Structure 1
Amino acid sequence: MKATPFLMFQGDAAGALALYRAAFADFEELLLQEHPEGPQAGQVAMARIRVGGLEIMLYDSPPVHAFTFTPATSIFIECDDEAQLRALAETLGEGGGVMMPIGNYGFSSLFTWLADRFGVSWQLNLK
């Protein structure tokens, strides 16, 4: 058995892939399939990536939904050093929102919680 986070976008999956490629030094694109024709031509039919050892699936949903991402579910990244955490926070946070700015919160000497510009929530923690 294997569990994999599955992120559903509304036409923004390619933009999210570009952001994650820019943010993560260890980004791996395992699969990218685009819709060849129709109203979704060029949008992501299915993608699989790996960041920080975690495989994530992404796609653009054909039907439009009234729901989107929520901070109640986030991807938790343990960073190797402060520079890595700050670089990830800067890249992922551009155009997004910050729930907890970079700081010492007692449970961690350096932590931040943010949403990227697509609404995906990320918690970045210094090991």
Structure 2
Amino acid sequence: MKSMTPFLMFEGRAEEAMNYYMEVFKDAEIRYVNKYGEDTPEMEGKIMQGVIRIHDQLIMMMDSNVPHEFTFTPSMSFFIECRSMMEIENYYRKLKKKGAILMPLDEYGFSDSFGWIQDQFGVSWQLNFSR
């Protein structure tokens, strides 16, 4: 295997999501963007393929040019191990904006501080901080 990369398929909001994640995560970087052109007028300007790096993780993204009846599900999520309470609280505050709280930020038996968010795009994030 050469590599394995998470791949997120959006319906017209991939660029918005990439820019949002650049705001949420200070060390995020957009690595590559290829947009649909004039030959696909209904998708022109949307993301055909994009890659963002968050910390050390590459994530591919695209806007689907084919309608589909599925979207993101919380059964697949990004798990972030935070370095401090300040960091977990910051991510929690930003990711819950216009999103849904699946598990509120709190102390649980398995964690000193844990929260599970579905962001405004439907992508799920599990945030954890253990002392």
Q: How far apart in 2 are the matches of 1:29 and 1:19?
A: 11
| 2:111 partner SS | coil
Determine the structure 1 residue equivalent to 2:37.
36
Percent of residue pairs bearing the same amino acid type:
41
Q: Map of 1:1-127 to 2, 5 A cutoff?
A: 1=1, 2-37=3-38, 38-127=41-130
Q: Is the 8 A contact 1:19 1:92 kept in 2?
A: no
Once the two structures are superposed, residues 71-124 of structure 1 have per-residue CA deviations (whole angstroms, 9 ceiling, x without a partner) of 000000111111111111111111010110000011110110010001000001
Q: Is the 8 A contact 1:52 1:77 kept in 2?
A: no
| 1:109 partner SS | strand
Query: 1:4 corresponds to which letter in structure 2?
Result: T
| 1:19 partner SS | helix
**Higher mean Cα deviation, 96-105 or 32-41?**
32-41
Q: TM-score scaled to structure 1, two decimals? A: 0.96
Q: Is the 8 A contact 1:76 1:123 kept in 2?
A: yes
Q: How far apart in 1 are the matches of 2:109 and 2:93?
A: 22
* Count of residues paired in the alignment: 127
Q: After the TM superposition, which segments of 4 or more aligned residues of structure 1 sit over 6 Å from their partners?
A: none
When Rg is computed on C-alpha atoms for both structures, the one with the higher figure is: 2
Please tell me the root mean square deviation across aligned C-alpha atoms, in Å: 0.9
Q: Which runs of 5+ in 1 are unaligned?
A: none
